[in-house]
């Protein structure tokens, strides 16, 4: 093979310290001079250099074969021999000293290594870092399966250490399963450190069990110390993972030896060691005082290692593929503004995922500050703004402003990063808008909020509700009005609604309807025995309102409306929900509201009459003339007032708000995307729309690829249309998973690329909202001094629990050891 000119010289220059042991004054500079090429005759330069290196008796060590396709050790007779052979566990041959006569041209760095040719003797092995990155993990696995080099049948030589002759003891292999022995060097090594701590020596000094080898046979305690450190470190890592998984605090108020409240970290570690003698003997009071691995700094370093391993797994899963970002901001318990960030992407199995990658403290919530924070997170995790294909925020002006919002700033960098206003927020705004703009609905929600405050104001009032509901339930079970069974008839309470808790108004109305007799009882109690005149008047006013037809009618009307929107709200908060399915659900909900508006008044009125009779409330004659709250008789009937001025008006406002808020549903982007839907046997398939969709992503499809896409679409359509496996799919999320499962994504790569672009578009920021809920559990009033970095790392671990459990302890150990110089090293 022809060798590129200067390849050999570059290899020896770059790896002089690793592969050449200078002897007799040979320096790196001199070796470079020896390997100089003659422009007229390169071979002559090689021979000159080789002869002078041989004269200087330089020893070529390590795995030079990682950089040359074959290693050459030439014997005295000039014939080529292999410099290394596979060694059995009982015999490791000595490496012959090379006598280089005429060198063979050196080749480029190989990307593949034969696993059967891996060297057994620890002294002969190259560093893990010297292998090609694509094979490091495979080589580690091969060595781990092969096990440590333990030549038990070897006669171990003795050497004088102090006044006595000492040698390696074969029984140590049984005592330390990580221990290896080099026949060539008569030294001991650690297999675990070789595989997982290959560059620790650069930070913590030369480790006897990694590079030089251990041969002080009189100091067996060094073997114990080396093994104990790993056991102690693993126990600390396992303890940290348990606390992170459950969002528990680490430190206690007093962690001194005499304290009985040492905190959960020390308590958990103590519990672990009580049931494991090997851990008990090397941790806490049994550990060296300067190397216990229990300090807060050690704990934070390990938490950081877990966090970075999780983020690494997420970024590795994304790779160079496209994704969308979901961002929101909220203050923590210390009144610090925090920005949470979630990535939405399609994994290798075709499944949509939304993964939390961190929370960043921002000094303000301006769009420029948020953009800078996003850029910083991207840079730290080697992500690119060019990969972004979607943005999802709430409706705040700093986020979605047309000119200076965060949306606009990102669109300047990437025109394909389409913005989608959070569907769940829009749905909440629909409900709020109706409550604010209709006088009757506004009064109803105010009275509901007021009754929750009054009834839940004291423990005694809550006890009255519990006891009264229990008695009523027992009576209804006795007369057969209520069914019994597992999960039925649980204790109920009045639920408080919240503006940011989607679906909470619906739950409040349901709880009020179920506990209506008990609520009336509490209100009567407050009206009679309230501590202040204001409380008594308040209860009297609520009771008066509850006895009116207005309250009962609005109660059932809002229960019906919120019941329809609650189904939509629940679907929107699913992580794997796609925008096409979300748009379809919005349209279906709007149609359901329209149907209720056209035909639902009669059914609502029946439910109202039934409620009246059950709770002994006076009814109105719907044929009589309507009387206003100020006792003015009108010329319209009660039927007309409740049907036209309340029922129809409220529903018309609701339907109008749906159309105004969910403007994205009718955009060109979604109309083109709908052509991908597999519903109803691909009934919406349209090649022209899909081509237009590809034109909306100029960075993802070139002109030539669009030409190929046109031809691919016909085959794709007919192939999937007549495949029974694609007959009953509910949406493009199912289509993506099935295509990957049966390999269709390889048959139609351009169509699958379009599919992924649609799937990554965000639907709702519910995942980000959940991150803030987790933050409130993690950073509490008692932990309000938690640093931003530690909170970020702990929050990543707490939210991404599945990824946390998948992190290997060896990976954490490796990263932990690389962070800095430590008193203990593997």
What's the rounded Cα separation, in Å, for the pair 162 and 149? Answer: 28
- Smallest CA-to-CA distance from 172 within 140, 207, 219 is with 219
C-alpha of 705 from chain center = 33
Question: Cβ(492)–Cβ(511) under 8 Å?
Answer: yes
pLDDT at 322: 94
Cα separation of the two ends of the chain: 42
Residue 572 has pLDDT above 80, yes or no: yes
Distance, in Å, from the CA atom of 403 to the CA atom of 411, rounded to the nearest integer, reads 10
> 156: which DSSP letter?
P
For residue 258, give the 3-state DSSP assignment: coil
Lowest mean pLDDT among 485-499, 547-561, 700-714, 784-798: 485-499
Judge whether residue 137 has pLDDT over 60.
Answer: yes
Query: Which backbone phi and psi does 354 adopt, to 5 degrees?
Result: -125, 115
**Checking DSSP bridges between strand 80-81 and strand 187-190, what pairing results, if any?**
unpaired
For every residue of 377-429, which 3-state class applies, written as one string? HHHHCCCCHHHEEEEEECCCHHHHCCCCCHHHHHHHHCCCCEEEECHHHHHHH
Helix (H, G, I), strand (E, B) or coil at 352: strand
Phi then psi for residue 95, to 5 deg, are -80, 130
What are residue 164's DSSP bridge partners?
A: 161
Q: Is 509 or 39 the better-scoring residue by pLDDT?
A: 509
The predicted structure's pLDDT at residue 52: 44
- Indicate the pairing of strand 388-393 with strand 80-81: unpaired
Better-scored residue on pLDDT, 823 or 497: 497
Each residue of 275-294: b (16+ CB within 10 Å) or e?
Answer: eeeebbebbbeebeeebbbb
The region of weakest confidence among 107-116, 128-137, 186-195 is 107-116
- pLDDT tens column, 511-540: 888 888 888 889 998 888 878 888 888 889
pLDDT for 501 equals 64
Choice among 112-121, 382-391, 715-724 with the minimum mean pLDDT: 112-121
Position 820 pLDDT exceeds 60: yes
Average pLDDT rounded to a whole number, residues 571-588: 86
Determine contact, residues 264/250, Cβ cutoff 8 Å. yes
Q: 711, 785, 694: which is closest to 748 by C-alpha?
A: 711
Output the DSSP codes for 159-185.
Answer: EEETTEEE---TTHHHH-TTEEEETTT
The arithmetic mean of pLDDT across residues 794-817, rounded, is 91
With 80 as the cut, is the pLDDT of residue 184 above it? yes
pLDDT at residue 729 tops 90 = no
Q: Give 330-355 pLDDT, tens digit per residue.
A: 888 888 899 999 999 999 999 999 99
Confidence (pLDDT) at 2:
39
Which has the higher per-residue pLDDT, 89 or 128?
A: 128
- Which residue's structure tokens are 């351009």? 750
Q: pLDDT tens for residues 584-628?
A: 888 899 999 999 999 999 999 999 888 888 887 777 788 888 888
> Which class for 504: exposed (0-12), middle (13-18), buried (19 or more C-beta within 10 A)?
middle
Better pLDDT: 22 or 692: 692
46-55, 144-153, 644-653: range with lowest mean pLDDT? 46-55
Q: For 86-110, give the DSSP string.
A: --BTTB-PPPPPP--SSPPPP-PPP
| Predicted confidence band of residue 207 (pLDDT cuts 50, 70, 90) | low
Q: Is the pLDDT of residue 54 over 60?
A: no
Task: Give the mean pLDDT of the chain.
Answer: 79
Among 65-79, 106-120, 324-338, 467-481, the range scoring the smallest mean pLDDT is 65-79
The answer to whether residues 63 and 126 touch, using CB atoms and an 8 Å cutoff, is: yes
d(C-alpha 470, C-alpha 466), whole Å: 6
Q: Quote the percentage of the chain above a pLDDT of 90.
A: 24
Strands 337-346 and 352-361, bridge-based pairing: antiparallel
How far is the C-alpha of 551 from the C-alpha of 608, rounded, in Å? 10
Which among 138, 134, 89 is positioned nearest to 110, based on CA atoms? 134
pLDDT digits (tens, 9 = 90+) for 634-664: 888 988 999 999 999 999 998 988 888 887 6
Which of 87-96, 264-273, 375-384 shows the lowest per-residue confidence on average (mean pLDDT)? 87-96
Residue 769 contacts by C-beta under 8 Å, 6 or more apart in sequence?
Answer: 328, 500
Between CA 104 and CA 1 the distance in angstroms is 10
Is residue 447 predicted with pLDDT exceeding 60? yes
Task: Please give the angle made by the CA atoms of 20, 24 and 28, to the nearest 5 degrees.
Answer: 40
Long-range contacts of 817-822 (CB under 8 A, 24+ apart): 817/197, 817/200, 817/203, 817/204, 818/199, 818/200, 818/203, 819/301, 819/304, 819/305, 820/203, 821/203, 821/204, 821/205, 822/204
Please state the pTM of the whole predicted model: 0.71
Query: Can you give the pLDDT at residue 18?
Result: 42
Q: Containing H/E element for 373?
A: helix 367-380
Q: Would you say residue 30 has pLDDT above 70?
A: no
Residue showing tokens 């000595």? 94
Higher pLDDT, 382 or 178: 382
Residue 225 pLDDT more than 90?
Answer: no
The string of DSSP codes covering 541-602 is: HHHHHHTSHHHHHHHHHHHHHHHHHHHHHHHHT-TT--HHHHHHHHHHHHHHHHHHHHH-HH
Q: pLDDT at residue 79 above 70?
A: no
Residue, of 200 and 119, whose pLDDT is higher: 119
pLDDT band for position 697 (50/70/90)?
Answer: very high
């Amino acid at each position: 093979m022809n060798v590129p000119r200067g390849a050999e010289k570059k290899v020896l220059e770059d790896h002089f310290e690793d592969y050449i042991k200078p002897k007799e004054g040979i320096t790196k500079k001199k070796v470079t001079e020896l390997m100089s090429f003659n422009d007229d005759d390169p071979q002559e330069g090689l021979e000159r250099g080789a002869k002078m290196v041989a004269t200087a008796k330089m020893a070529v060590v390590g795995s030079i074969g990682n950089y040359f396709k074959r290693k050459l050790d030439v014997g005295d007779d000039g014939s080529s021999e292999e410099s290394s052979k596979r060694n059995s566990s009982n015999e490791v041959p000595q490496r012959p000293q090379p006598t280089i006569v005429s060198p063979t041209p050196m080749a480029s760095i190989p990307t593949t290594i034969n696993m059967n040719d891996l060297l057994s003797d620890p002294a002969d092995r190259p560093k893990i870092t010297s292998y090609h990155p694509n094979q490091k993990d495979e080589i580690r696995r091969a060595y781990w399966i092969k096990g440590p080099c333990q030549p038990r049948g070897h006669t171990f030589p003795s050497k004088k250490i102090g006044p006595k002759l000492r040698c390696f003891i074969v029984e140590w292999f049984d005592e330390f399963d990580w221990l290896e022995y080099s026949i060539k060097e008569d030294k001991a090594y650690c297999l675990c450190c070789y595989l997982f701590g290959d560059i620790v020596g650069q930070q913590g000094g030369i480790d006897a069990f990694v590079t030089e080898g251990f041969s002080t046979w009189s100091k067996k305690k060094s073997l114990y110390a080396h093994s104990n450190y790993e056991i102690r470190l693993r126990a600390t890592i396992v303890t940290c993972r348990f606390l992170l998984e459950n969002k528990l605090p680490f430190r206690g108020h007093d962690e001194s030896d005499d304290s009985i409240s040492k905190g959960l970290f020390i308590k958990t570690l103590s519990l672990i060691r009580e049931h494991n003698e090997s851990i008990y003997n090397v941790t806490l009071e049994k550990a060296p005082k300067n190397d216990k691995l229990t300090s807060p700094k050690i704990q934070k370093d390990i938490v950081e290692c877990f966090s970075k391993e999780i983020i690494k797994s997420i970024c590795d899963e994304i790779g160079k593929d496209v994704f969308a970002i979901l961002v929101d901001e909220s203050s923590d318990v210390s009144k610090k503004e925090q920005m949470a960030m979630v990535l939405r992407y399609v994994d290798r199995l075709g499944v949509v995922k939304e993964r939390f990658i961190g929370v960043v403290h921002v000094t303000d919530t301006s769009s420029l500050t948020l953009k800078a924070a996003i850029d910083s997170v991207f840079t730290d995790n080697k992500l690119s703004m060019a990969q972004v294909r979607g943005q999802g925020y709430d409706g705040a002006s700093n986020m979605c402003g047309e000119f200076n919002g965060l949306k606009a700033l990102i669109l300047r960098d990437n025109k394909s990063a389409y913005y989608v206003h959070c569907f769940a927020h829009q749905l909440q705004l629909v409900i709020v808008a109706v409550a604010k703009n209709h006088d009757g609905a506004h009064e109803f929600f105010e009275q509901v909020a007021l009754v929750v405050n009054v009834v839940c104001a004291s423990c005694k009032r809550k006890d009255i509700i519990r006891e009264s509901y229990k008695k009523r339930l027992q009576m209804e079970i006795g007369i057969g009005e209520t069914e019994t069974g597992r999960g039925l008839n649980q204790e109920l309470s009045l639920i408080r609604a919240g503006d940011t808790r989607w679906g909470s108004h619906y739950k409040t109305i349901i709880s009020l309807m179920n506990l209506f007799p008990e609520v009336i009882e509490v209100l009567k109690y407050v009206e009679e025995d309230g501590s202040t005149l204001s409380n008594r008047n308040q209860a009297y006013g609520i009771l008066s309102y509850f006895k009116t037809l207005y309250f009962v009618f609005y109660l059932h009307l809002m229960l019906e409306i919120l019941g329809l929107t609650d189904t939509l709200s629940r679907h929107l908060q699913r992580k794997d929900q796609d925008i096409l399915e979300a748009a379809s659900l919005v349209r279906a909900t709007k149609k359901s509201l329209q149907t209720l508006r056209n035909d639902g008044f009669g059914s609502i009125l029946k439910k109202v009459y039934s409620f009246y009779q059950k709770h002994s409330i006076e009814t109105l004659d719907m044929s009589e003339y309507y009387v206003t709250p100020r006792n003015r008789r009108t010329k319209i009937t009660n039927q007309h007032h409740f049907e036209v001025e309340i029922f129809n008006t409220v529903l018309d406002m609701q339907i109008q708000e749906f159309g105004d808020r969910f403007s994205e549903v009718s955009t060109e982007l979604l109309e083109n995307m709908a052509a991908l839907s597999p519903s109803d046997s691909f009934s919406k398939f349209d090649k022209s729309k899909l081509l237009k969709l590809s034109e909306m992503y100029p960075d993802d499809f070139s002109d030539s690829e669009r030409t190929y896409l046109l031809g691919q679409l016909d085959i794709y359509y007919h192939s999937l249309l007549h495949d029974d496996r694609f007959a009953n799919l509910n949406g493009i999320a199912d289509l993506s998973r099935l295509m990957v499962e049966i390999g269709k994504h390889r048959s139609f790569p351009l169509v699958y690329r379009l599919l992924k672009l649609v799937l990554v578009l965000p639907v709702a920021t519910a995942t980000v909202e959940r991150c803030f809920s987790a933050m409130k559990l993690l950073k509490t009033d008692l932990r309000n001094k938690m640093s931003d970095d530690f909170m970020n790392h702990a929050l990543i671990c707490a939210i991404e629990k599945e990824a946390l459990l998948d992190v290997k302890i060896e990976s954490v150990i490796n990263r932990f050891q690389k962070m800095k110089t430590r008193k203990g090293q593997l």
